[in-house]
Structure 1
Amino acid sequence: MKNILLLEDEEAAVRRISKMVLELLPDAKILAALASIAEGIQWLSSNPSPDLILSDIHLADGQSFEIFRRVTVTTPIIFITAYDQYALEAFKVNSIDYILKPVKKEELQRALQKFNNLSVQSPSVNIEKLLLSLQKPAPTYKERFAVRYGEHIKTIETTDIAYFYTENKVTFLVTKDNKRYVVDHHLDQLETLLNPKNFFRINRQFIICFNAITEMFSYSKSRVLIKLNPPCKHETIVSAERSAHFKTWIDG
């Protein structure tokens, strides 16, 4: 007989998962269905370890990971999750199986078959390692741009850039000391390459650095007129659709 502990806070899900488990493992026994972290900790601290734990990640009082932080568990765990594909890789790396919500019988069968095939008990779940794996890496942004002038190539540090703009379908980079260079990227690409803390696209033609702003004025239709240093021959106005986001950006 397989003794199974279910951690799930939705009654309908408890009934549905329990029914599927017993159909797929007729000799199984659902020892308990617990809805909270507190109940999980109490039960696992005072009962013999089950053969298997089926655990939803989101319980009534928080994430079920907290249970396994506070109670050492060597029992195999199948997590029930709505996480995206990136996060699912973390479960694979940590040798923990998972089922996507809503739970489908064929997916549960696959996970239970994997459980049945285990010849030895799984090692203790390293929850800290799992949580670290689930965290998406912080985005990285360009630190310099390679530019050409004549037959020469040089690099411009991003910290030395005042703004980018387009003219006649060409993208230009302007440095803080008022030197202008052609860059190979268009503004849509630059938006993803530049740190949004420091750069903002004010309209279809300009991406500016916060430190290049010298003055700002209210303009018609809730727009903002910006004066830049070094000065630009083109008028730099935050478009109406970007004004609200711009005001949030400058407010830090």
Structure 2
Amino acid sequence: MKVVIIEDEAFAALRLKKMIQEYNAEIKIVAELESVAESVKWFRLNPEPDLIFLDIHLEDDLSFAIFEQVNISSPVIFTTAFDEYAIKAFKMKSIDYLLKPIVHEELAASLKKYEQFSGLQRNAVDLQLLYNLLTGNEKKYRERFSISVGTKIKMVEVTDIAYFFTMDKGLYLRTSQGNTYNLDFSLDKLEEMLNPASFFRINRKYLVNISSIVNMVAYSRGRVKLELKPKADNEFDPIVSIDRSSEFKKWLNA
């Protein structure tokens, strides 16, 4: 097995190398790299290793910058000091980790995991998700709206909204209980504010919550007509437009 260690702390790199060779003396460390720039240069000039041990923070940037400059398909074991939340994300993405300071038992378990799965098809690494988790840049979506009702202000949770729609140059939301309120936003702006896993813009008039769809009917020219709950009662039917039909079907199956 050929291994690359990317670590900017000399002592940590030396210790990791020693522990790897104690686990299996036949493992060959083909490169010990300290920075993003050095790593990019090495991967451009050399064949990929069987396995990469990768520190998150390097001397010149986050190690994710390496993957933005070169295509690498080798499996990765991250060496990290981040908390349990990020570690769980690594596991969900089939990426292993070693929490610093590294101990022999955990290193051995990671290498055994690699040996067990190295013959299987490698899962793609969602580097953007990991970057967001590790830097705290995970996008936050709107959770509620404050609505003016006469002289009072009412809070409406996004999870209680069935759909948004435009009518008579105004924009409205309808709750799952059938209440309708006016909003001072555009549908374009709402698309940016709401979680796309839950809400989809089906046409110029409607932005719907997937939980509000109770029935779908094939319509002319490949379109889809929706039956929503509560029932849409304005002059425009909730029909998925031609240019959004393909994305709508993908959204349903996501």
Q: TM-score range by the shorter chain?
A: 0.5 to 0.7
> Contact (CA 8 Å) 1:41, 1:67: kept in 2 or not?
no
Q: How far did 1:55 drift?
A: 2.2
Quote the Cα distance in structure 2 between the aligned partners of 1:132 and 1:248.
Answer: 21
Aligned residues: 164
Q: 2:48 is matched with which residue?
A: 61
Task: Return structure 1 stretches of 4+ with deviation > 4 angstroms.
Answer: 129-134
Out of 4, 7, 30, the residue aligned to residue 42 of structure 1 is: 30
Residues 101/175 of structure 1: CA separation in 2 closer, same or farther (3 Å cut): closer
* One-letter amino acid of the structure 2 residue matched with residue 55 of structure 1: S
Q: Structure 1 197/77 Cα, relative in aligned 2: closer, same or farther at 3 Å? A: closer
2:109 is matched with: none
Distance between the aligned counterparts of 2:157 and 2:49, measured in 1? Answer: 44
Structure 2 distance, partners of 1:222, 1:175, is: 29
Partner residue in 2 for 1:26: none
- Structure with bigger gyration radius: 1
Of residues 124, 131, 136, the one that matches 1:135 is 131
Distance 1:148 1:222 in 2: 40
Judge conservation of contact 1:173–1:180 (CA < 8 Å) in 2: yes
Query: Residues 235 and 132 from structure 1, CA distance in 2 versus in 1: closer, same or farther, beyond 3 angstroms?
Result: closer
- TM-score normalized with structure 1 length: 0.55
- Measured on the aligned residues, the alpha-carbon RMSD in Å equals 3.8
2:48 is aligned with what amino acid?
D
Aligned equivalents of 2:69 and 2:54: distance in 1?
A: 21
- Mapped contact 2:176–2:230 kept (Cα < 8 A): yes
1:226 corresponding residue in structure 2: 226
TM-score (norm 2): 0.54
Partner of 1:250: 252
Go from structure 1 to structure 2 and tell me whether the alpha carbon gap of 1:57 and 1:236 turns closer, same or farther (over 3 Å shift): farther
Write out per-residue CA displacement over residues 71-118 of structure 1, whole angstroms, 9 at most, x where no aligned residue: xxxxx966xxxxxxxxx6x47xxxxx99x979xxxxxxxxxxxxxxxx
* Correspondence 1:164-175 to 2 at 5 A: 164-175=164-175
Counterpart of 1:213 in structure 2: which amino acid?
Answer: I
Structure 1 gap segments, 5+ residues each: 1-6, 8-38, 70-75, 79-87, 92-96, 103-125
Q: 1:67 to 1:245 in 2, by over 3 A?
A: same
Equivalences for 1:94-133 in 2 at 5 Å? 128=80
Name structure 2 gaps, 5 residues minimum.
5-26, 71-77, 83-126
CA distance in 2, matches of 1:217, 1:180: 25
